[in-house]
Amino acid sequence: MLFNSIDFVVFFIAVLAIITILRYKKFQHLFLVIASYFFFYYTSEILISLLIFSTVLDFYVGKEIFHAKTVKKKKILLAASLTGNLGLLGFFKYADFGIEQFNVLLGQFNLPEFPLLEIILPIGISFYTFQTISYTVDIYRGSLTPSKSFREFALFVAFFPQLVAGPILRANQFLPQLREKLEKVGTGIKLRQIIIKNSNLKFGITLMTIGFFKKMFFADNIAPLANQVFENPVGLDSFSIILGTIAFGFQIYGDFSGYSDIAIGAALILGFYVPKNFNKPYFATSPSDFWRRWHISLSTWVRDYLFFPLILKNRKSAKRLFASLFTSFFLLGLWHGAGWNFIIFGMIHGVFVAVDTVIRKKIPYFSEQKFFKTRTGKIISILITQYLIFFAFIAFRVRDIDNMLYSMQKFVFWDFEIESFLEIISVNKIPIVLIIIFIILHFISYKKENLIESISKLKIRYWIVFFMIILGSITLLYDLNPHDFIYFKF
């Protein structure tokens, strides 16, 4: 059920209507669980069984870990959780990729190949398995108490706004909010149920509207330019490759941050706070800063559950620091998909972030330079960082290795030819205009940090005008065909 479809609009309005009618708190939350499962079943059908498997596994394993008396038993139970979740993720996401690589090896010896399993990738599996893994790990670490009811845990795992493509929720972010709506304090005073507040409603609708705007106005209409360049990049000049890379960078940002905005806005309307997933990443001043701003829920997950355990024993060693960061980003790249391009994407970022971090720690002279704190120095830092980030985007976008290497070569070594560049511009006038508008609006949002909040606080007549302008802009370029979100593939 795509967010940018009439099906979701009808579904969400129906959920809000029923939530408003239902006043008994436990019924509200039970209904949200049922609605979330229906949302997932609508798209995945029988594959909802995988979601239920992860939920049941970690609900009971989490309880057992909490009550286990010995460290050994806790470790065995945690291993069972990791094996179940990562085994599920590994089989459905990477089995065919592994068979393909093994067949390449067999081909070197003229041995018969194994047939592919042709496994369908279950939507959202990368996200909900990471959520449930963090739950059991946090209980194992002693930083979280297990859910008190299966209904509570099931809603945490399957909460429909962020179920399919994040942000990746942590139990310690979501469960306290849920318990506040379900339980009683010591004085016997009942805490709030799900109440659709006017402030939340207005801010949530504003955020969702911005999300639809990013996806349906910008991402979907810039995509044809990126597709034209990277469907067959060999033979194109450097400026064409650079333009296509910029187009894809803006497309994926509009697509994924748009999804996140819609998810966060929908959750807020229902009375739940979901942390933001993007924070103006194209104004990052270093590769490390970029990952503090881009897909924040994934980068912090990798930091807390991969990098910190890897670096725990020796934080002062530059080699250990580099290796831990590189390994973390290698796995982050692999998380995105079963393909060498995603592995290369992760490795490139691993090198960027590792080198940046090691230099800052071992040679503080560079990071403490006053020049980089000036306006000019900051602009230069942003431009260099984005050049590196967009270079890595080529690996993310281009799956064919030969095409990827050609594109990277042209991106780095400019040939200063313009023939194909001018031809691409001539047939992509709308995407070019949208790129320019995107840059202007993105800069405005950077300068005006609380722009969305300011819009949501407009007087109702001005707010409605804003809403109608956005809706009219989307309608102007909408082709009546809702496009998938890119991260549905992961």
Maximum mean pLDDT: which of 97-101, 126-130, 345-349: 345-349
Averaging pLDDT over each range in 71-75, 200-204, 475-479, which range is the top one?
A: 71-75
Residues identified as active-site: 336
What does the pLDDT read at residue 182? 58
Q: To 5 degrees, how large is the angle CA 388–CA 429–CA 257?
A: 45
226 pLDDT above the threshold of 60: yes
* List of E strands, 291-364: none
What local confidence, expressed as pLDDT, does residue 437 receive? 94
Q: What percent of the chain has pLDDT over 90?
A: 50
Question: pLDDT higher for 57 or 178?
Answer: 57
Contact at 8 Å (CB) between 432 and 288? no
Q: Return the H-helix or E-strand segment holding 287.
A: helix 287-291
pLDDT of 490 strictly over 80: no
Average pLDDT over residues 331-335: 91
> What CA–CA distances, in Å, run from 189 to 50, 164, 181, 182, 183?
39, 36, 12, 12, 9
Q: Cβ distance 282 to 393 under 8 Å?
A: no
Q: Which string of DSSP letters, residue by residue, matches 406-473?
A: HHHHHHHS-----HHHHHHHHT-HHHHHHHHHHHHHHHHHHHSTTHHHHHHTS-HHHHHHHHHHHHHH
Residue 224 has a pLDDT of 94
| Whole-number Cα distances in Å, 201 to 147, 196, 418, 453, 458 | 28, 6, 49, 12, 13
196 pLDDT band, cuts 50/70/90, is low
Residues in the chain: 490
Q: Can you give the pLDDT at residue 253?
A: 95
Local confidence band at 194 (pLDDT 50, 70, 90 cut-offs): low
Question: What pLDDT is attached to residue 453?
Answer: 84
| CB contact at 8 A, 68 and 146 | no
Residue 73 pLDDT > 60: yes
Instruction: Give percent of the chain above pLDDT 70.
Output: 94
Which pLDDT value is given to residue 201?
Answer: 83
pLDDT of residue 4: 82
Is pLDDT larger for residue 6 or for residue 191? 6
- Is the pTM for the entire model greater than 0.75? yes
At residue 236 the predicted structure's pLDDT band, cuts being 50, 70 and 90, is very high
Q: How far is CA 100 from CA 81, 207, 351, in A?
A: 28, 42, 27
pLDDT in tens, 382-435: 999 999 999 999 999 999 999 999 999 999 999 989 989 999 999 999 999 999
Neighbours of 422 (CB within 10 A): 12
pLDDT at 265: 92
pLDDT of 458 reads 83
Predicted pLDDT of residue 181: 64
CA distances from 467 to 210, 211, 370, 430, 464 (A): 9, 12, 43, 22, 5
pLDDT of residue 111: 81
CA distance 264 to 225: 29
pLDDT of residue 192: 46
Question: Using an 8 Å Cβ cutoff, are 416 and 236 in contact?
Answer: no
Q: Find all residues with CB under 8 Å of 134, minimum gap 6, and list them.
A: 168, 170, 171, 301, 304, 305
pLDDT at 202: 85
Both tokens of 252, joined, read: 């994926």
Give me the pLDDT at residue 184, please.
Answer: 47
CA distance 150 to 59: 7
Cα–Cα distance for residue pair 121/106, rounded to 1 Å: 25
Q: Does residue 301 contact residue 126 with C-beta atoms inside 8 Å? A: no
pLDDT attached to residue 119: 82
pLDDT for res 190:
42
Percentages helix, strand, coil for the chain (3-state, rounded to 5) are 75, 0, 25
For the beta carbon of residue 24, count every other beta carbon within 10 angstroms: 10
- Bond into 167 cis (ω within 30): yes
> Helix, strand, or coil here: 330?
helix
pLDDT at 136 over 80: yes
Average model confidence (pLDDT) across the chain: 87
Q: What is the mean pLDDT of residues 171-178?
A: 86
